[in-house]
Amino acid sequence: MPKINVYLPDDLAAAVKAAGIPVSAVCQKALTDAVQVVTVARKGVAALRDPEFDPGSRPEFTGRLGERMTARLRAALELGRQAAGDGPLGTAPLLVGLLDEGENLAVRLLPVLGADADALREAAVTSTAEESLPVAAGEGGGFWSGMTMAARSAIGASLEASIELGHNYIGCEHLLLGLLAEPECGAGRVLLDAGLDAAAVRRAIGSALAGFTQARQSAAPAAGEEVLRQVADRLRAIERRLDAAGL
């Protein structure tokens, strides 16, 4: 049977040993589940790139995809639909929606990547790139209604980016990568003209998320120390009252 090494932080390794957890069985179950999830997701990505596939007729597929999306991404998609108005929802309106949401990780990374959000928005609004609608134009309506093939493919690429980065959600940062995966379309052209590329965005996302994780880990002990300080202050106050009462 092939062997796969699993590396753990020292404290977690010690806790696993102390608890007597059967590492091999747990890892096999986790990997089996992960393979199943990833396989289904990759099939979904391939389907979204097929113009003949109508995701509107598959509510369970749309539901699973929606469950993975963050609240900020859902808000950005809605803002993108508003930007599209009565026209089709293409990649350029999706980029406008992402930028208009304003507080997501993708927007926060733009200065680091040397891009200006206002300039990107203006270029996306004035984009004249044409994008075709899929053959099956979302007969079930809803989420996919009026969405161009390029926008649909970009959302598929967002899911793919999430999988490749090992994330269990789809956020605005993944949508940014998804739009970059459509270089011949409206948003893709705007982003590439601004000097953005997928490799740099991936590195920035990785660095940012690593920084968030480290900050949380550092904040936990600090929070614990603050709680202890507050308890000590209260104890000293009680002691002073007891002393004053002669007890």
The one-digit pLDDT tens for each residue of the chain (247 residues) are 776 766 667 776 677 677 677 766 665 665 565 565 566 667 667 778 888 888 888 888 889 899 999 999 999 999 999 999 999 999 999 999 999 999 999 999 999 999 999 999 999 999 988 898 886 554 555 889 899 999 999 999 999 999 999 899 999 999 999 999 999 999 999 999 999 999 999 999 988 888 766 655 555 554 555 555 654 565 555 556 545 555 4
Q: Domain for residue 188, yes or no?
A: yes
Q: Domain for residue 209, yes or no?
A: no
Range of 132's domain?
A: 10-196
Residue closest to 140 by CA, chosen among 60, 83, 39, 66: 60
Q: Domain for residue 242, yes or no?
A: no
Q: How far apart are CA 80 and CA 167, in angstroms?
A: 24
> Is residue 59 within 8 Å of 140, Cβ to Cβ?
yes
pTM confidence score: 0.75
Tell me how many domains the chain contains. 1
Q: What is the pLDDT of residue 21?
A: 72
Q: How far apart are CA 72 and CA 77, in angstroms?
A: 9
CATH of the domain at 168: 1.10.1780.10
Q: How far apart are CA 244 and CA 62, in angstroms?
A: 68
Q: Domain for residue 109, yes or no?
A: yes
Q: How far apart are CA 93 and CA 182, in angstroms?
A: 14
Residue 108 one-letter amino acid: R
Contacts of 78 (CB under 8 A, 6+ apart): 97
Q: How far apart are CA 61 and CA 231, in angstroms?
A: 51
Provide the 10 A C-beta neighbour count for residue 37. 13
Q: Domain for residue 231, yes or no?
A: no
Three-state SS sequence of 88-132: CECHHHHHHHHHHHCCCHHHHHCCCCCCCHHHHHHHHHCCCCCCC
Q: How far apart are CA 201 and CA 178, in angstroms?
A: 11
Q: What is the pLDDT of residue 34?
A: 53
Q: Domain for residue 201, yes or no?
A: no
Q: Domain for residue 240, yes or no?
A: no
Residue closest to 41 by CA, chosen among 166, 146, 127, 213: 166
> Is residue 49 within 8 Å of 58, Cβ to Cβ?
no
Q: What is the pLDDT of residue 217?
A: 58
Q: Domain for residue 243, yes or no?
A: no
For residues 209, 213, 215 and 220, what is the CA-based torsion angle, rounded to 10 degrees? 160
